[in-house]
A and B are shown apart, each in its own frame.
Chain A
């Protein structure tokens, strides 16, 4: 499982690769709790389906990926959560 919920930090942590199977999990978690933050520090790749979930839900990012290649692509998340 590459998706972990850190309850105390109120954070969803994605470790290594988020596969297509994880998209639904991430989507449901963020839908259930839109204030859940995201820790991508250990994330290496997000399947397109997971990526689009992040694009839809625009969660608050508490830690950016160490992977430079991935970080570059996630600029759309830098503006944080939109109102509404």
Chain B
């Protein structure tokens, strides 16, 4: 993706969120003008950015229509309603999809969006058409403004060629446009010239300088320094519509051709260089001096020059007069008619300077303008020291920093090995101590560095929470349910990766709550509950975990129903149906292919629900639990690690290889005497603290054809692990202590090996394979 598009994608994402937020807020308070203006601004910026790319013209067109609608709402021509919110959201969804795809596929997108966008544009148009009567006086200028424009028009009337004037008088009236683009317009993707050139019914136009910088100096050519005047014979409404997005930068007025004295010939004055007068004066001299043999030649030459001058002055209408005068001169041998004509041309033509600036200065007091100029130097460089407090950094850069810090951690650990080596192999005790000293300094700095980088990667959960109001709104509307959403603890922070992967499970949980949890208003009334259901999503920190709770006051989950359902789906057998207690029954929800909904709805219940939530959380090193009370509601709790940067692992040995086991799954490490191991059916088990723990050999699980080794006392090393709600014993060869490592997931072909969570590099440079015991036993 090129940098420009990358910027577009990033910007669009921010804007889309802003649009969604503003719309939600607007629904709550439709009268709020500030919100509407903010919404308009956002959409306009988005439209501007999309306009930079030709391939996104369908987006630009669609957003244009959205602006139309909002413009009408702003002016009170359309009532703000949920229809409008829906229509705008629909349009934003398309932009969002395109942006997502651009990001995923590195700048490519499905051209079929074009068609979808067209459909939406069409439906937006029909929304506009079905509104109340469009009032004609929408853009009528305030009288003072119109007077100003008329004065200006009178001043520049001389620039307007005669044939244009003729066309105007044929039509009867005309629209005059004075467009002064804002200096920064290029950065918004505007092309003012294209805009003015394409005004409907344009018959005349002129470009004029607004600023006249010294060309020998450095000039910022990306600052718009020119303006435009134009005359259109289209209707005022058409012109207004064409220029509505720069309405703050244009002055438009409808003037009658007859009443307006602005176009009468006596007022003809144009911006003409001095040279024209010099040339005309010279011709006067030539004509005066013409006599004898050269008379004809001189007169003809002078008349040619006069004709050329007239062409330059856009007064082709007078060319006939020149020919007429020339004939008279040649016939009568008297230059008077030509001399008279030259005089006439000269009196009608005066040099008038800085016309355009005068108009501007009339629009705003001069002092104010100068002040503004002082504030905005030609090349505007933001005051770096005072303004920039936050930086937008590509996450890839932060990730790289993170990786580098991880490598330093590993490099740092090698110092310890070195000091050991110095003492044990080379017998240099002093040196060894010195290395250790250096190591501790190093260690402190690295630790701080690690904290600092982790902090950068921390993001507030609000990033994912902010999508929820829209989601809840849409779903509850579709289901005909009334829901009050409460978000608590949005400022709670967690690692970027945690936050990112949390989005999908959270959306799923919200859908579940709305679809299966909260009842329809009717049903709630019958149960004596308030009609509006409550959905509370809260986030908070607990020790080194982030907890996210999704709680509703709906119908709750009936464990009996769950059991029955699981049995019918063949997920549990008849025996289990009898045996399983309520809490375990609830856990069945997390089995793949389970769905309690009677019918598969559009919202949720596709049978790919809670198991996905569970898997996602486990991959993140977290867990999920459910609390429910029949008829009162359900609370789903997500437990997540605060940061995924550092993983604490226990190093174990099995079949002469070292492995890491994540500490969060380990309950305890014990030695179990071989004699105390009993066989229950074919399964080894041991009694530990009054509980029967099934024992599994790591070698067997990993397919290593070797028995686990016991120590001299005939005891086996057993790691008691917490897998779901059950405890299991993993038999290994030896324990080697714990360590903080930077765990890197496997990539490529290795990534599919679910028994391993990844690898880490140890201080001595060796690679540690970290196991993922949760995957060893799927259903406990």
Contacts and interface: CB of A to CB of B under 8 A. Distances in A.
Interface of A: 20, 23-24, 27, 31, 45-49, 51-53, 55-57, 69-70, 72-76, 78-79, 82
B205 interface: yes
A73 to B, nearest CB: 5
A49 B194 contact: no
Given A23-B221, A52-B226, A73-B206, A47 B215 contact: no
B224 A49 contact: yes
B215 A23 contact: no
Contact of B226 (A27, A31, A55, A78): A55
12 contacts: A27-B219, A45-B197, A47-B194, A48-B226, A49-B224, A52-B224, A52-B225, A56-B213, A70-B197, A73-B205, A75-B206, A79-B273
A49 B190 CA distance: 10
A75 B315 CA distance: 13
A52 B215 CA distance: 12
A19 to B, nearest CB: 9
A56 B194 contact: no
Contacts of B417: none
Nearest to A58: B215
A48 B273 contact: no
Contacts of A49: 186, 221-222, 224
Contacts of B191: 20, 47-48
Given A51-B226, A73-B207, A76-B208, 12 more contacts: A24-B221, A45-B194, A45-B197, A48-B181, A51-B193, A51-B207, A53-B221, A57-B215, A74-B207, A75-B314, A76-B206, A76-B207
Contacts of B185: 48
Contacts of A51: 193, 207, 226
B556 interface: no
Contacts of B190: 48
B186 A48 contact: yes
B192 interface: yes
Contacts of B273: 79, 82
Contacts of B192: 48
B312 interface: yes
A48 B224 CA distance: 8
Task: Enumerate the 6 nearest inter-chain pairs by beta-carbon distance, A residue then B residue, closest first.
Answer: A48-B193, A52-B226, A48-B192, A73-B205, A51-B193, A27-B221
A24 to B, nearest CB: 6
B489 interface: no
A72 B159 CA distance: 12
A47 to B, nearest CB: 5
Contacts of A78: 312
B253 to A, nearest CB: 21
Interface of B: 181, 185-186, 190-194, 197, 202, 204-209, 213, 215, 219, 221-222, 224-226, 273, 275, 312, 314
Contacts of A57: 215
Contacts of B186: 20, 48-49
Contacts of A76: 206-208
B224 to A, nearest CB: 6
A27 B222 CA distance: 11
B177 to A, nearest CB: 13
Contact of A48 (B194, B204, B206, B215): B194
B158 to A, nearest CB: 13
Nearest to B219: A56
Contacts of B225: 52, 56
A51 B225 CA distance: 10
B215 A56 contact: yes
A12 to B, nearest CB: 16
Nearest to B205: A73
A24 B219 CA distance: 10
Nearest to A46: B193
Contacts of B226: 48, 51-52, 55
A51 B206 CA distance: 12
Interface core residue of B192, B206, B226 (most chain A CB under 10 Å): B226
A10 B222 CA distance: 26
A58 to B, nearest CB: 9
Nearest to A23: B221
A55 B224 CA distance: 12
Contacts of B204: 72
A26 B55 CA distance: 26
Contacts of A27: 219, 221
A52 B185 CA distance: 13
A46 B219 CA distance: 19
A23 B191 CA distance: 13
Given A27-B221, A55-B226, A79 B207 contact: no
A45 B197 CA distance: 9
B205 A52 contact: no
A47 B207 CA distance: 13
A2 B616 CA distance: 52
Given A23-B222, A82-B273, A47 B193 contact: yes
A76 B228 CA distance: 12
A25 B385 CA distance: 33
A79 B206 CA distance: 14
A49 B192 CA distance: 9
A30 to B, nearest CB: 9
B207 A55 contact: yes
